[in-house]
Structure 1
Amino acid sequence: MDFQLTHEQKMLQESIKKMVDRDINPILRAHDPDKPLTREATRQILDICQPFGFTGLRLPEEAGGVGVNALTFGLMKEMLPPVVSFICGGQETTAVRIYYGGTPEQRERYIPAILKGDKLGSTGSTEPNSGSDPRAIRTRAIRDGDHMVINGQKVWASNAAICDFMLVIANASEDPKGPSKLIRIIADKEDAPFVTRKTPTLGFKQGNLGEAFFDNYRAPIRNVVGGEDDASAQKVMHQTWLVQRPMMGLLAVNMAQKALDSAVQYSRERVMFGRKIGGFQLVQQLLSEISTAVTTSRLLCYYALDCIDKDINANQLSAMAKRYSIAACQKAISLAMEVHGAMGISTELGLEELYRDVRMLPIPDGTNQILTLIEGRELTGISAIR
């Protein structure tokens, strides 16, 4: 049991960190922190991230991807600013979901364009009344000749507001009261337009999280991924969620680490009552709690990803890693704000932005409540949902 990163892993993380400081952070700072990045800025960021493979980390090499394992995926994504991770994730996850089950023609048409950032992709699975329960999806896709007619709404989709196409998870059952028949369909604006818009949110304001509306949208039948009886649709979604949950935890770790670094530096510089506040016992207690939250969260996420790589049942660990890490890192950022006193709540320092951003993370890929029920099911063998 080795808890140390290898020399190669450390070098990989360091090279990504340098790339972020040198190339990405200036782009983020040049744009209004309270407004979504433009399409041009998003493309620019993808161009920078593409040589590191961020748009196709989980795709096999023969598909043009990098084919890294889950742990390496996490080690790399932890180094990215979370808003950039969501940008790349919108591309990468969509590519993975098209690759597995997609036809050779679909792969050839979309995968290279996604990897290069020539096409901005998004995946639409969540709906106003369907999130953690994909069988409750109401967006309908009914065949009409050589097309699938789509009606419905998708929400909380990364890159939706600026996407060129969306991989839509829809219900193809013609009986609204019958069992769900999930399929995946590519809705491409080159085939026909559909309406998208940015969703105003508490955090990640530079992102393009949004929703899409389909009103008798006609997608060519060739755009159906996995066939009209796509038995793998839910399995593919589950497998991507399994990795993405610890990944969300590592986004929180990224932010909490920034808060810790800032708090430690401030404690060494700020003087009160004639001495640096880092010498006060209560300040050291706050720093210790923040550091413990960062370390335990990071290790738990790494462990969950390592178990996925070793093909160990990680349903419980994946859920646990996301739920625990985000909660711990939310508290850590709040404590770091306390170390800074009044400066902690200033917009100048940036901790309040981290505080808003980290609060966004409990929602994607399973809420705390759903993750708790997954953990309970794995422990007892009894589902509290069905």
Structure 2
Amino acid sequence: MDFELTDEQRIAQDATRRMVSQEIEPLIAGYDPDQPLPKDATRQLIQILAKQGLTTARLPEEAGGSALSALTVGLILEQLPPVAQWALGAQEVTIARIYRGSTPEQRARILPDLIAGNKITCTGTTEPDAGSDPRSIRTTAVEDGDHYIVNGTKMWVTNASVCDVMMVTTSVGRDENGLSRMMRIVIDKEESPFTTRKIPTLGLKSGHLGEATFVDCRVPKRNVLGETGDASRVLTETWIANRPFMGLYAVHLAQKAYDAALAFAGERVQFGRKIAGFQLVQELLANIATAITSSRLLCYYALSCIDRGERSNQISAMAKRYSLAACQRAISEAMEVHGAMGISTELGLERLYRDARMLPIPDGTNQILTLIEGREITGIPAYRA
């Protein structure tokens, strides 16, 4: 088994680090990390990432995409600060979802502005009463001539409060089991107005996690994507890669906490010597390093399984669930290394902890991921498949 990265992957990592230090960090440095990044700044951020081909990471080359392997995308995403990971994640996955099942006319009309970052986009699936079970959605789309009339509410949508375009999962009726027959439709806020608001959250405060409300929203039929009933499949296909990506977001946060803890332990003096020489401090550092390394390798392995075309439901769920738990614990232990300073807002470790605590929610909660793993192990679903 070869654990070495290819020259191409190392180059991609190095190029991303340079982009972060030279373009992204100077852009976000002027804004309060505990306040939402203004829309213009968010657009600029996405445009910087677009120039590196990151908004088309999962699109084939013939469609103008980067056609990057899942592992290469993960290696790149791991280098980005949380606000960039969050904004890009919603933009890129929505572009990938729109591409799947869309017609050449739709791709030519909708995608260029999203790919370039001229318009901010996102996916609206979760609702107040439908989260882990998307087939329980109640947002409706009713035919009206050449339009659909959309009514409903979407919640916990990344980029919602600054979006220009949203891909919305709607219900066009119920099947014999009472489940929604889901349809995907692209809603451009300028031609089909809807309202949005940011939802205040514990962490990732510079991002734009929000709610969208559609009241008699008239959307042209030409914006319907794919076939009715394909929404669940398209969402699942993209969630499988998103889960180890989310795990690598946590690795990024834990790595920053570890770097700070290691530096602090080498400087802080108590009882006449540096605390790095104390056995229990070394234990904390060893625990953190182990959590980061094991999480990183598990996520890399999950992405490499996806690249090989293997069935990756179990390993993808495992990668996210394990990495987020391990890295949250690692950040907490890094705070312990710092003693009282660890809980200060001045140091910033508490922000890393809050940001990491946000990550178990999107793309499958810990409990749903556990049940996915259990289903794959036993062949018996513990919830509706």
TM-score range, shorter chain: over 0.9
Contact 1:50 1:115 in 2 (8 A): yes
CA distance in 2: counterparts of 1:255 and 1:225, whole angstroms: 36
Change (3 A) 1:333 1:174: closer
State the SS of the aligned residue for 1:269.
Answer: coil
Residue 282 of structure 1 corresponds to: 280
Change (3 A) 1:144 1:80: same
CA distance in 2: counterparts of 1:13 and 1:175, whole angstroms: 47
Residue 263 of structure 1 corresponds to: 261
CA distance in 1: counterparts of 2:281 and 2:4, whole angstroms: 29
Deviation at 1:10, TM superposition (A): 1.9
- What aligned pairs does 1:151-170 form with structure 2 within 5 A after superposition? 151-170=151-170
Residue 368 of structure 2 corresponds to: 370
Amino acid at match of 1:284: Q
Residue 141 of structure 2 corresponds to: 141
Describe the superposition over 1:140-190 as per-residue Cα deviations: whole angstroms up to 9, x where unpaired: 111111111111100111110011111000111178984421100111112
CA distance in 2: counterparts of 1:14 and 1:286, whole angstroms: 29
Deviation at 1:332, TM superposition (A): 0.1
CA distance in 1: counterparts of 2:207 and 2:311, whole angstroms: 33
Residue 38 of structure 1 corresponds to: 38
Deviation at 1:311, TM superposition (A): 1.2
State the SS of the aligned residue for 2:54.
Answer: coil
Moved more, 15-24 or 351-360: 15-24
CA distance in 2: counterparts of 1:258 and 1:18, whole angstroms: 17
Change (3 A) 1:53 1:290: same
CA distance in 1: counterparts of 2:71 and 2:230, whole angstroms: 24
Contact 1:63 1:111 in 2 (8 A): no
CA distance in 1: counterparts of 2:164 and 2:379, whole angstroms: 42
Describe the superposition over 1:94-143 as per-residue Cα deviations: whole angstroms up to 9, x where unpaired: 11111111121211112111111111111101111111111111111111
2:91 aligned with 1:100: no
Could you tell me which of 289, 293, 296 is aligned with 2:294?
A: 296
Q: Structure 1 regions of 5+ residues with no counterpart? A: none
CA distance in 1: counterparts of 2:11 and 2:60, whole angstroms: 22
Contact 2:150 2:215 in 1 (8 A): yes
Contact 1:43 1:117 in 2 (8 A): yes
CA distance in 2: counterparts of 1:357 and 1:197, whole angstroms: 20
CA distance in 1: counterparts of 2:14 and 2:338, whole angstroms: 28
Contact 1:345 1:351 in 2 (8 A): yes
Amino acid at match of 2:239: W
CA distance in 2: counterparts of 1:146 and 1:176, whole angstroms: 28
State the SS of the aligned residue for 2:219.
Answer: strand
Deviation at 1:78, TM superposition (A): 0.7
Deviation at 1:44, TM superposition (A): 1.4
CA distance in 2: counterparts of 1:335 and 1:39, whole angstroms: 35
Residue 326 of structure 1 corresponds to: 324
TM-score scaled by length of structure 1:
0.97
- What aligned pairs does 1:71-220 form with structure 2 within 5 A after superposition? 71-173=71-173, 178-220=178-220
State the SS of the aligned residue for 2:111.
Answer: helix
CA distance in 1: counterparts of 2:102 and 2:36, whole angstroms: 31
Residue 240 of structure 1 corresponds to: 238
Instruction: Detail structure 1 runs of 4+ shifted over 3 Å in the superposition.
Output: 174-179
Identity %: 60
CA distance in 1: counterparts of 2:274 and 2:174, whole angstroms: 70
CA distance in 2: counterparts of 1:202 and 1:179, whole angstroms: 33
Amino acid at match of 2:347: L
The size of the alignment, in residue pairs, is 384
CA distance in 1: counterparts of 2:324 and 2:343, whole angstroms: 20
CA distance in 2: counterparts of 1:137 and 1:332, whole angstroms: 36
Amino acid at match of 1:33: P
CA distance in 1: counterparts of 2:178 and 2:351, whole angstroms: 45
Residue 55 of structure 1 corresponds to: 55
Describe the superposition over 1:189-228 as per-residue Cα deviations: whole angstroms up to 9, x where unpaired: 121210001110000100011110011111011111114x
Deviation at 1:24, TM superposition (A): 1.0
Contact 2:151 2:216 in 1 (8 A): yes
Change (3 A) 1:315 1:22: same
Residue 334 of structure 2 corresponds to: 336
Contact 1:142 1:174 in 2 (8 A): no
Deviation at 1:279, TM superposition (A): 0.8
CA distance in 1: counterparts of 2:279 and 2:220, whole angstroms: 66
TM-score scaled by length of structure 2:
0.97
State the SS of the aligned residue for 1:173.
Answer: strand
Change (3 A) 1:37 1:176: farther
